[in-house]
Chain A
Amino acid sequence: MSGRILSDRVRRSLKREFSRSLMAKIGLFLVVLMVTMATFAPFLAPHDPTQQGLDESNLPPAGVTQTSEEFRMVDGERTTVTVEREGSLEHPLGTDALGRDLFSRVLFGARTSLMVGLFGTLFAVGTGVSVGLTAGYYGGRTDDVLMRFADIMLAFPALVLAIALVGLLGPLTILIPDPFVQLGLVTGMPANFVFPITLTIVVGVVNWVWFARIARGEALSIRQQEYVKAARSLGASDWTILRQHILPNSLTPIIVLATIQVAAIILLESSLSFLGFSGTSLSWGFDIAQGRQYLGTSWWIASMPGLAIVAAVVGINLLGDWLRDALDPGLEGEHGGGM
């Protein structure tokens, strides 16, 4: 098993399941779309997502005409005028209250969601798998202490814990230079990407327990196997056994869970951004919070980023279903938290 993550058998099973399932194809399409959007946002975006223009505020999406009554000062007097706004392809999804282009914001928002989703999951996998393998392999006192700690973590709803941690620790962010802008390939786009560090660590912290439980269970069952005993009698160290025998054999459920967790973490990230705890203003959840004040007049501001979230999470969930069906028919969707 070592050396190659996916065996030929697994590869064949993945292919067979993929060609059979329309849902897997839709899922892959949505995920590829999201990754493309996130990666090439500076090329695809028609405008700088942070550029404001008050004369272009609250423009409806292309093809939609919106009439509203507004107060204007005409000859020094306050009068009500009927304003008609027409959406155009200049701003395909319309603009927000500050005149920022929503399509561009959705593209850049994909970056935040994807980065937090991936790195948050990696953090959770890293922590959870290390703790779980250690607990399961050594057993005894180590196992007791680690798993009691995991119980305490589980005694807390992930979202509540995340809200408390992010809200209290404060939104620490780092600026990552955008390579395309740095190389001069595009101009007029934000030079940096704001990566919410606290948020990413916190979503990992509240989700590692699921991985720890799975890894522990796998380690417990695998360490009794003949080939592990054989390796040990040949003088292999604990570290070698864990790395070469136990980890590769427990990968399947971990990969399936990790896929589903990316979706859960994206939902978690959007919730925390919605509450204003992320520290970045280029995020789907943040835009929904902004649009919440204009539900009566500009329905598109809150709707568009939400549709993006749903599409992304549906895609990842479909991909997760495909992996689960292909890799391990025995697994059911029991794991994962978040909302």
Chain B
Amino acid sequence: MGSSLRIFLRPERCINCYACEVACEKTHEGMGNIKVQGVPLVCLHCEVPPCITSCYRGALEIKEGIVVIRKDYCTNCGICVLSCPFGAIMVTEVERDGKKIPRIHKCDGCWERPYGFAVCALTCPSGAIGWERFEDAVVSKREKVYRLYLRG
């Protein structure tokens, strides 16, 4: 199961087809974790995540470089939603006994899916969402910047 593989975004390649949103919703029981508004945005899985520092129950944890919510610890209070600097933690209202209760969900890097691969990256037709090792992504980004620098 993709040990050090992560989702990397290349926003300049996005063609606004919303395939990733649909794929994510389908895999995560109708609660999509990716939003396309011009360019796709998912959780960036920060190295020092403010959501983890803000959570008073320790419901968020880092699993192999991916920040995940432990559903049995989460109280759906909404504090982590406010703490995320990118607004990548989503809230969906669910019906329970006639009242609407908010459910909090975020990108889990598809770590428990059978594919061993993030579905958004698998679906993306233009390669705007990549699924690669951290080191490879850094090298390719450096290459791109260097090419732009050479071009002037």
Do A and B pair up? The answer is no
Chain A residues packing against B (C-beta within 8 Å): none
